[in-house]
Amino acid sequence: GAGVSQSPSNKVTEKGKDVELRCDPISGHTALYWYRQSLGQGLEFLIYFQGNSAPDKSGLPSDRFSAERTGGSVSTLTIQRTQQEDSAVYLCASSLGETQYFGPGTRLLVL
């Protein structure tokens, strides 16, 4: 079956611009996660959605980052007023049980 998909694959933006990253989880998965992977760093948790519960936003690095999940499926991660340190690979994962399945990521470069 289809895995987690993310778009765009790559995004180049200028400092100060807003960006939106999209994640389509595996059909039927109730949980959705966003992580960030910077060069030389491990995966860093950003935000977690579980069903209709309030999202766990404890990993968001600043108020410039936000995310929503519409209809319990597709999610959008928004970064406002991007900074050069936001350059990273943004990974989305979904799960039904304990195991999380990852998408291919969006590579964001802020110039």
User: Which residues would be at the binding site for other proteins (CB under 8 A)?
Assistant: 4, 31, 33, 35, 40-45, 48, 50, 56, 59, 91, 98-105
C-alpha 49: how far from chain center: 11
Shortest approach of other proteins to residue 64 CB, angstroms? 20
**Nearest CB to other proteins, comparing residues 32 and 79:** 32
Q: What are phi and psi of 44, to 5 degrees?
A: -110, 125
Q: Minimal distance in Å, beta carbon 106 to other proteins?
A: 10
Q: How far is the CB of 78 from other proteins (least distance, A)?
A: 19
Helix (H, G, I), strand (E, B) or coil at 29: coil
Tell me which residue of 6, 13, 1 sits closest to 102, measured CA to CA. Answer: 6
Q: Which is nearer to other proteins, 16 or 101 (CB)?
A: 101
Taking the least distance from each CB to other proteins, the nearer of 16 and 72 is 72
For the chain, the straight-line distance linking the first and the last C-alpha, in angstroms and rounded, comes to 37
